[in-house]
A and B are shown apart, each in its own frame.
Chain A
Amino acid sequence: MVTTVIPPECATTARIELTAATPDEIVARVRPDRDDPAFAGHYPGFPLLPGVYLFDYVHRTVLAADPELVLTELVSCRFLRTVDLDDELTVTVQGTGSRRSGTVTVDGVPVAEVVLHYQDGEE
């Protein structure tokens, strides 16, 4: 499944391709969108993927499988290395309910670890 509709609360325009989705785990392949005009300003002559985009890719992967969820908290995000615009990213999200843990890797090497919290049904 490839997501082409960008949720209005998301920042990025990359293609999110779900490669696996079970009740406990979602896996997606993500290629940064080199045509994203944001890269011209981040930074001139030295395009670098903004760290917040990695958080957004994990969030979009969650929404691709469960579009009704409402994000309430970025519990934690740890950046382990920078990402080249030519890198293909793999996003793996585990967890159910309101808390999801995501890992972003490039060629099997972790580049970011992200924990997100979504609105509980009772909230």
Chain B
Amino acid sequence: MEIDEIRRIIPHRPPLLLVDRVHELVPRRRLVGSLTVTGDRLLPAALLLESWGQAALVLIRHDRPMPDVLTDGVPVAGVFEQIRFGRPVRPGETVEHRVELIRLIADTAFVRGESVVGSEVVLRVGRLVGAMRPATSLRPTARVRATEPKEST
């Protein structure tokens, strides 16, 4: 699966679309995906985890695509546990994400896995719990502002 098909499944877009390719996908069981790091910076730990999470979202939603959060819902993280970081991923390197679906209950998914560069483990994910929320249920402050009457001058 290449980038165009990934864009049809998840709502993330550049510069925060952090999965380039899916190499293996066993529905409702596991996925192997990857990202090649461009630019001249190390891949920060938070973005390595975000990239792994996007690969997990492809596994969870490949059969129910959600390219637009306004109509399809917003993926939100609930819990991260036992996330262990190895050495940083460098520019030019390809990091391979391995995701295993532990359980899927309605729109709440439990996943785990790891990321490797070559034979080196750079990330271990003990457990990530994520869910979907309607866009209308989020950003309460923005919604309040949108409905407030404007002050007259």
Residues of A within 8 A of B (CB): 8-12, 37-38, 40-46, 48, 50-53, 55-56, 59, 71-79, 82, 84, 86-87
Contact = CB atoms under 8 A, between A and B. Distances in A.
15 contacts: A8-B41, A9-B88, A11-B46, A11-B47, A38-B15, A40-B16, A43-B12, A43-B69, A72-B85, A73-B85, A75-B81, A75-B83, A76-B81, A79-B77, A79-B79
Given A10-B46, A59-B45, A44 B13 contact: yes
Interface in B7-52: 11-17, 41-42, 44-47, 49-50
Nearest to A72: B85
Contacts of B12: 41-43
Contacts, number: 110
Which bracket fits the contact residues of B? 35 or more
Contact of A41 (B17, B76, B84): B17
A64 to B, nearest CB: 16
B124 to A, nearest CB: 9
5 closest A-B pairs by beta carbon, nearest first, are A41-B16, A74-B83, A41-B13, A11-B44, A51-B77
Interface stretch (B95-103, B108-116, B135-143): B135-143
